[in-house]
Amino acid sequence: MTEAQIRTYLSQGEGLRIEFKKSRLALPGNLFESVCSFLNHSGGTILLGVDNDGSFEGVDRTTLDKLMDNVATLSNNPEFLDPPFLLFPIKHEIDGENIIVIQVPESSQVHKFKGIVFDRSRDGDFKVIKPERIAEIANRKRNLFTEGRILPFLEYKHFREDLFEKARALIRSRKPDHPWLLFDNPTLLEKAGLYKTDLQTGEVGYTLAALLLFGRNEFIESTLPALKIDALVRIENTDRYDDRDEIRHTNLIEAYERLMAFVGKHLPDKFHLENGQNVSLRDIIFREVIANILVHREYTHAMPTTFVIYQDRVETLNPNNPHFHGLILPEKVVPFPKNPAISKFFIQLGRVEELGSGVMNVSKYLPHYTQGALPQFIENDVFTTIIPLKVHTLGALAKEFLRAILPGHIQAEEVLTLLTSLQITSEIAKEAHDPGLLFYRLGVCWMEKGLKLLRDKDHDISKLTKEEEIKGLSWEEKGTKLIEKGLLNMVQILILCLREKSLQELADITGYSNRSKYKSSYIDPLVNYRLIELTIPDKPKSPAQKYKTTVAGRYFLGGGQI
């Protein structure tokens, strides 16, 4: 921000997006009320060291750096500002006095300061108490795409000319007659939706997406100072890393190339015959993973994106504006663009096939790259992607496991082969040498998930986490303690439905005579949670109806997130 811009704000006075606060020796007590309200409304600028009438009081030079550090620290503290939103204040000297400028963008989330939601009006900050009003803010933000935010001081001179030529070459290689190839650079930006008019405010300009795709590094840094993608290898040195590429303030076109180069350096390639041609499985899988973390990231969030190669998996964590919460299943995927303009541009570059293609393509090709592997895509405030490089299975312990879950029911032996190859998490695999400890870990995992599945039950699992309380017990007894009746029945059904089973078969094996109650108590909840599914979904009452365990159900059995 320039001195001229600051003087413009001072002449305009306080308003919907401008706030002045005295701050000679300490941060004002109501500072984060304004931060919170700006995050929840349409963003704004706070000038510390300025009186309400726009006159300078200044910030004492001896406390200047400390106050700036305090702003950054408190904005990143979830007990203070929830969810946190890391801010980077800037100091300026105007007419011999020091002031601190805090630019607060509009956030895609609803924030609370010390547990209270604040919103903004022209009269200042105000508390939002009524649930329906908070819901209105949340609904408005749900429809907000932060990539489309217009940056009023972003100009064409802030872009890199060479990136336009690189983009054209990529587009031309896919489609030589692409209409974008006929446009000059400013027109290309406009046609791609990266230069637009805000119909609500009348504001016209280049968007955040334009900066991310074509901006010079120094301007990306000044706009998004926390932007970072951390690519790590943690195989030998799991506490730190064996190799690292820290990608800071880099445009998305080159960030994609650097991540793909990192993958090429550290992961083996395998070829797969498709339509008579060899294709690179590594490139197919990881171009989707990398494109997804770039296209769907929430760029106003201060958390870094991480791309970590472990010995047995690749795992990415990405700040996200979730559309729902939970596991994304390839057969149930509902495309939802987080950054539609960026997504659209990546499609033209050939780095994304279409919206939603990532989940489907990775799920299709991963089993050829890692035999028997199932990827996980978990949508939450932090989007998690897990790509197994090695599959851990229940293996030789499956028979003991089966007998503990379904004692005395020889009919269950027919699922033994499938259970043996059941994929389990790497954390649980560490205990696989000890049947008792393995069962304990799986049991705790199921109990924790059981809290979500059986919301009407009162569970107390605190004692189950204490190793000393299970010493001396046989692993079968641990199983009885860990998996209480309701959850035990559900796990039994999931195991049995690894092979298709009718309601009658399930009731007979598990010893239930009242089929109607059994269905309403256990079968229907498992269907609702997508852990089992009907074999004839369009005819739910068909006499030939059976049930089978879904991919999500297998994750559940193996201790994975759902």
Return the pLDDT at 174: 86
User: CB neighbours (10 Å) of residue 213?
Assistant: 25
Residue 180: what pLDDT? 85
User: Does residue 459 have a pLDDT over 80?
Assistant: no
Q: Please, are residues 57 and 25 in contact by the beta-carbon 8 Å criterion?
A: no
Query: CB–CB of 559/428 below 8 Å?
Result: yes
Measured between alpha carbons, how far is residue 404 from residues 334, 389, 513 in Å? Answer: 38, 30, 22
- 392 contacts 428 by C-beta, under 8 angstroms: yes
- Inform me whether the pLDDT recorded for 182 exceeds 60: yes
Alpha helices in 267-332 (DSSP H): 281-295
What end-to-end distance do the CA atoms of the chain give, in Å? 45
Residue 352, pLDDT above cutoff 60: yes
Q: What does the pLDDT read at residue 456? A: 42
Composition of the chain by helix, strand, coil, percent to 5: 45, 20, 35
49, 56 contact by CB (below 8 A): yes
Q: Report the distance separating Cα 453 and Cα 367, nearest Å.
A: 29
Q: Is the peptide bond before 83 cis (omega within 30 degrees of 0)?
A: yes
Residue range 416-442: mean pLDDT, rounded = 83
Q: What is the pLDDT of residue 452?
A: 63
Q: Are 97 and 69 in contact (CB under 8 A)?
A: no
pLDDT at 165: 96
Asked whether residue 366 carries a pLDDT value surpassing 60, the answer given is yes
Mean pLDDT of 375-394: 92
Q: Is the pLDDT of residue 475 over 60?
A: no
Task: State yes or no: pLDDT of 285 exceeds 70.
Answer: yes
137, pLDDT greater than 90: no
Of 171, 207, 168, the residue nearest 184 (C-alpha): 168
Q: Please give the angle made by the CA atoms of 451, 494 and 472, to the nearest 5 degrees.
A: 65
User: Of the ranges 214-228, 390-404, 451-465, which one carries the lowest mean pLDDT score?
Assistant: 451-465
For residue 56, give the DSSP letter.
B
Q: Residue 196 above 70 pLDDT?
A: yes
Confidence (pLDDT) at 142: 57
41 pLDDT more than 90:
no
Alpha carbons 62 and 535: distance in angstroms, whole number: 72
Q: What is the pLDDT of residues 163-177, one digit of tens each?
A: 999 999 999 998 898
What average pLDDT score do residues 333-347 get? 76
Average pLDDT over residues 262-274: 94
Q: Residue 540: what pLDDT?
A: 86
* CA neighbor of 348 nearest in space, from 147, 172, 189, 145: 172
Residue 463 pLDDT more than 50? Answer: no
Return the pLDDT at 60.
92
Q: Residue 397 pLDDT > 70, yes or no?
A: yes
Question: Reduced to 3 states, what is the DSSP secondary structure of residue 554?
Answer: helix
Q: Which of 482, 326, 307 is nearest to 404 (CA)?
A: 482
CATH class, 145-390 region? alpha beta
- Show the CA angle centred on residue 462, arms to residues 457 and 467, nearest 5°: 135
Among the listed ranges 65-74, 131-140, 232-241, 279-288, which one has the minimum average pLDDT value?
131-140
CA 260 – CA 274 distance, rounded (Å): 22
Instruction: Report pLDDT for 254.
Output: 97
| Residue closest to 180 by CA, chosen among 150, 218, 213, 131 | 213
Mean pLDDT of the chain: 85
Answer whether residue 460 shows pLDDT above 60.
Answer: no
pLDDT given for residue 250 in this prediction? 96
Q: What is the pLDDT of residue 113?
A: 93
Q: Is 535 helix (H, G, I), strand (E, B) or coil?
A: coil
Encoded amino acid at 401, one letter: F
Q: Which of 382-386, 420-424, 439-443, 477-481 has the lowest mean pLDDT?
A: 477-481
Q: Which fold has domain 3-144?
A: 3.30.950
- Token pair in block for residue 34: 């304004």
| Cα angle 389, 392, 398; round to 5 | 160
DSSP symbol at 159: B
pLDDT digits (tens, 9 = 90+) for 73-87: 888 787 888 877 778
Choice among 25-39, 49-63, 321-335 with the minimum mean pLDDT:
321-335
Q: Alpha helices, DSSP H only, in 106-251? A: 131-142, 161-174, 185-191, 208-214, 217-223
CA distance 366 to 372: 8
Better-scored residue on pLDDT, 304 or 201: 304
Work out the percent of the chain whose per-residue pLDDT is above 90.
43
Instruction: Give residue-wise pLDDT tens across range 535-549.
Output: 998 788 899 999 999
Residue 199, pLDDT above cutoff 60: no
DSSP state of 308: E
| Average pLDDT, integer, range 246-267 | 97
Mean pLDDT over 331-335 rounds to 63
Residue 10 has pLDDT above 70, yes or no: yes
Element (DSSP H or E) covering residue 369: helix 357-369
Residues 358 and 318: their CA atoms lie apart, in Å, by: 15
- Between CA 89 and CA 67 the distance in angstroms is 9
Check residue 464 and give its pLDDT. 40
β partners of residue 521: none
pLDDT digits (tens, 9 = 90+) for 488-502: 888 889 999 999 999
The pLDDT of residue 52 is 87
Between CA 505 and CA 489 the distance in angstroms is 14
User: Alpha carbon of 144 to those of 42, 138, 420: distances in Å?
Assistant: 11, 10, 46
Q: What is the DSSP string of 62-86?
A: TTHHHHHHHHHHHHT-TTTEES---
Give the pLDDT confidence score for residue 458 in this predicted structure. Answer: 45
Cα distance between residue 407 and residue 403, in whole Å: 5
Element (H, E) at 419: helix 416-420
DSSP state of 411: G
DSSP-based three-state secondary structure for 204: strand
DSSP, residue by residue, 71-124: HHHHHT-TTTEES------EEEEETTEEEEEEEEPPPSS--EETTEEEEEETTE
Domain ranges (residues) in the chain: 3-144, 145-390, 394-557
At residue 49, does pLDDT exceed 50? yes
Cβ contact 322:381 at 8 Å: yes
3-state secondary structure of 359: helix
Q: Is the pLDDT at 14 greater than 80, yes or no?
A: yes
Name the nearest CA neighbour of 345 among 189, 497, 155: 189
